[in-house]
Chain A
Amino acid sequence: MVRLRSLCVFLLLSGPLCARDPLAKVGDFSLPDAQGKKHTPKEWKGSKAIVLIFLGTECPVSNGYAPTLTRLAERYGPRGVLVLGVHPDPDVTAEVARKHAKEYRLSFPTLLDPTQTLARQTGVRIMPEVAVLNPAGEMLYRGRIDDRYALDGKRRDEPRTHDLEDALTAILAGRQPSPRATRAFGCPLPRPIQN
């Protein structure tokens, strides 16, 4: 596991996109949100799309997206899109997540995923990065929210592409998002502490 991750880091550094299965599928899971409510894929039934947003409470890039994410959730929620935040950090307790959601005015539930089960199943490696699924858990889009940050970390004043929004528009129109995957810039997922 560790070796594979390191290999991927190496490949990322050396340029080409580290091969990730673009057709990853999310199977069963049961995770509590910051309020203690349990979430499973059963609740996805009836939604047109599910957006998992991987968040980093200590990542300025991730936090900077909070207003954008809340806007998207408010815009697409009423149109049948279920938006869920995911904390893939073992140090983010329910209390930390509640405080963070309040501070950054997140309008959607945030799941606590200390063992990174959703990150593994979706292949997400960056905070913030999104995985858009259909109710069967099949991946429709994975990657950045928009191109506000270039891959070298340089920040544009205004994004020029709105990848997540374009993907949702396509899905709601019954089309396949294009592209289906992009590379996100931000903070790599933390390692779970071993000992």
Chain B
Amino acid sequence: MHRFVPALLLGVTFALPASAAEEITFTKHIAPILWKNCASCHRPGEVGPFNLLTYKDAAKRADFLAQITSERRMPPWKAEPGHGDFEDVRRLSDAEIKLLAQWAESGAKEGKASDLPPAPKFTEGWQLGQPDLILKMAEPFEVRADGRDVYRCFVLPTGLTEDRTVAAVEFRPGNRRVVHHALYFLDNTGAARKKDEADPGPGYSSFGGIGIVPTGSLGGWAPGATARRLPEGTGRMLRKGSDVVLQIHYHPSGKVEKDQSTLGIYFTRKPAQRLVMGVPLVNRRLAIPAGEKRHEVKATFTLPVDVQALGITPHMHLLGREMKVTATLPNGKQESLIWIKDWDFNWQDQYRYRKPVALPKGTKLEMVAYYDNSADNSKNPNHPPKLVRWGEQTTDEMALCGLQVITAKRADMLELYKELLKTQGRLGSLLSGFGTPSDK
């Protein structure tokens, strides 16, 4: 009782989400928060290391939950609110975080069974139903018990004899204890196959990218991401004869593990009229001086045609600390497309807008990225720090943000492709994901 006195003396009033007299309980307050935000990963067979479904699951970790949510380390979500309206936002409100703290503080009580909302329902297996094409790693890959993270690329031939358009891709990790995230690139040049042949064991190792310039992309997966179909009539180009290059980031778990992951590909019902293209904002001339705490790198691109942005994918390596992408529309209006204030290579996500963002012709896209190349950066791979330039290795950096867009007309797509080729060279056009026509 006397615990409340100091607050009264200070005359402080708190805006409590629950009335001050009401006891915070699992069944009434906590279960809905955990089930909505945590249980999709923290349930049996999923990527979370423990379950967060029952009272017992939560009560023994009440202090942990209060701490990790207040630091916003969990749920993992790096995009700042108010900078892009995204799908699958895994971000707790301040009120929810406060409830978790109050619950831990007040003894993590269970509460009345009648307060418990209906249990969440989860679909087992493929979330989007049976895929049209299933690509599975040819053999299991062994992940060592200890040491550095592993970045491995697996070449999965599609065997397609005609061009197809893809509506969705669903990734099923083979071993959720070690699979941290996955990216799916395309290659129809055979370059990835050569790298695979040159490297003993399944696949080949490559950190920042896939070691070759991809001819397209089908997206990616991070824990908590939900597979979704693109809007009707929209697809990603998958050229005939292409290989999917599946890059998986593995975390050693403390014991030797095996993984054999699977991709499910869903084609559009009819060939898509609108193709998703990547507009890369990229600065390959970056040179980050040793010891520099906040080194700025910029890149811009002016849209030659009207586009609608469907998603955005920031990419930096270990020195990257912050990235912001702003669109300045022809009428002068500015729109923030994304702001990652606390970049973490381990939680790079493919952010998808809830509604496509209209960006008219003449819109100037600007990326600003900041890098910490000081010894204070615990992720700095160089000890002592040294000058860092563009490259694919852990010790190199990148300043790259891909914007996934669609155009209203097919002719506009070519226009955009030509502009990327002109301003950013072969890399820009290849990163566009428009793909090199295989019959060129």
Contact = CB atoms under 8 A, between A and B. Distances in A.
Interface of A: 2-3, 5-6, 9, 12-13, 58-60, 63-68, 89-91, 103-105, 150, 152-158, 160, 187-188, 190-195
A91 B344 CA distance: 33
B333 to A, nearest CB: 36
Report, nearest first, the 10 A-B pairs whose CB atoms are least far apart. A67-B146, A66-B254, A190-B60, A150-B378, A63-B254, A58-B50, A64-B254, A157-B148, A188-B64, A60-B49
Interface of B: 3, 49-50, 56, 59-64, 66-67, 70-71, 73, 104-105, 107-108, 110, 145-146, 148-149, 177, 251-255, 344, 346, 378-379, 381, 383, 394
A24 to B, nearest CB: 20
Contacts of A64: 146, 251-254
A67 B254 contact: yes
A6 B105 contact: yes
A155 B345 CA distance: 11
A150, A152, A160, A191 pick with most chain B CB within 10 angstroms: A191
A11 to B, nearest CB: 12
A156 B253 contact: no
B389 to A, nearest CB: 19
A60 B381 contact: no
Contact of B59 (A2, A65, A68, A193): A193
Contacts of A158: 148
A9 B63 contact: yes
Contacts of A3: 3
Contact of A90 (B60, B62, B104): B60
Nearest to B148: A157
B60 A193 contact: yes
A67 B71 CA distance: 29
A64 B255 CA distance: 8
Contacts of B148: 157-158
B255 A66 contact: yes
A158 B146 CA distance: 10
Contact of A9 (B66, B110, B177, B381): B66
Nearest to A58: B50
Contacts of A193: 56, 59-60
Contact of A68 (B49, B60, B146): B146
A60 B253 contact: yes
Nearest to B74: A153
Contacts of B3: 3
Contact of B67 (A68, A104, A154, A188): A188
Contact of B255 (A12, A90, A105, A152): A105
A63 B383 CA distance: 27
Contacts of A13: 67, 70-71
B379 A154 contact: yes
Given A65-B254, A104-B254, A157 B63 contact: no
B12 to A, nearest CB: 16
A5, A67, A89 pick with most chain B CB within 10 angstroms: A67
B277 to A, nearest CB: 34
B63, B73, B149, B394 pick with most chain A CB within 10 angstroms: B63
B175 to A, nearest CB: 13
